[in-house]
Structure formats: C-alpha cells, structure tokens
C-alpha cells in the first residue's frame, strides 16, 4: 500500500503541476504521500479511479493532437494554403481541447484534497516549477 501511495503521489504531483508534454526542469523536492500529503485510504482509491479515467481521455486527446500535427505537416508539404489553414485550425482546436481537459482534471484532483493537502501541493508546485524569465 505504501508503494501505491508513493506512486500515486508522484502521479498527483505531475498532474497538479501541469507537467505535460513540455520538458521542464524539476528540482529535487518530492511529495511523499505518507508524510506530506497524508492521504487517507479513501482518497487513494478515489485518486486511482479518477486518474485511470483521466488517463484514457488524455491519451485520446493526445492522439488527436498528433493526428492534427501529422495533417498539418502533410498540408504544408503539399503547399496547399487552404489545406494548411484548415490543418492549423484543427491543430489549434485539438491542443485547446487537451489543455482544457488537463486543467479540468487538475481541478478535479485538487477537489479530492483537504485544505492542508492542497497547501502542500501548492508549496511543491512553487518549488518545482522554475520561474520564467
């Protein structure tokens, strides 16, 4: 059970900090679910169910983005401005759908935490994501 909580905490940290497909430098600070988040068994089960459901949706939306990127590449290669414009719009819509779903998923995950757990996640998020210049 301890290993699943640590794994869940890692997935939770990644989900909550928005570390998606873009590469970002993460500091050595880690959330340890047992000592920092202090998740209850009920929370662990809810997180597991929620994250399983979210991962299916995210995979599907990521596949849509990849398909739209491939379509755009093909349109650019053909040199057709109309196809290129349509592919750009399609890619933009696919990326927005993915981003909006990721944000909604983060809100859903945060809703399962109590106030002190949310503060731990916020503190971790501030430490782990470097400030942009």
- Taking the C-alpha atoms of residue 25 and residue 59, their distance in angstroms, rounded to an integer, is 23
pTM: 0.65
Per-residue pLDDT of the chain (133 residues; tens, 9 = 90+): 554 555 555 555 555 555 333 333 333 344 554 457 888 899 999 989 998 889 999 999 999 999 999 999 999 999 999 999 999 999 999 999 999 999 999 999 999 999 999 888 888 877 766 655 4
* Cβ(8)–Cβ(33) below 8 Å: yes
Nearest to 21 by CA among 53, 69, 72: 69
Domain ranges of the chain: 2-128
pLDDT at 62: 97
Is domain 2-128 in CATH 1.20.120.1490, yes or no? yes
CA distances in angstroms from 34 to 47, 73, 115, listed in the order given: 15, 46, 16
Please name the residue ranges forming H helices in the chain: 2-16, 41-78, 81-111, 115-128
């Amino acid at each position: 059970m301890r290993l699943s909580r640590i794994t869940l905490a890692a997935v939770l940290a990644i989900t909550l900090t928005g570390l998606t497909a873009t590469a970002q430098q993460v500091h050595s600070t880690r959330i340890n679910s047992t000592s920092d988040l202090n998740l209850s068994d009920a929370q662990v089960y809810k997180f597991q169910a929620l994250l399983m459901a979210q991962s299916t949706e995210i995979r599907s939306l990521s596949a849509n983005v990849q398909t739209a990127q491939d379509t755009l590449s093909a349109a650019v290669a053909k040199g057709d401005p109309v196809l290129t414009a349509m592919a750009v719009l399609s890619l933009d819509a696919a990326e927005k759908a993915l981003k909006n779903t990721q944000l909604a998923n983060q809100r859903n995950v945060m809703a399962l935490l109590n106030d002190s757990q949310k503060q731990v996640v916020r503190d971790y998020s501030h430490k782990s994501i470097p400030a942009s210049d």
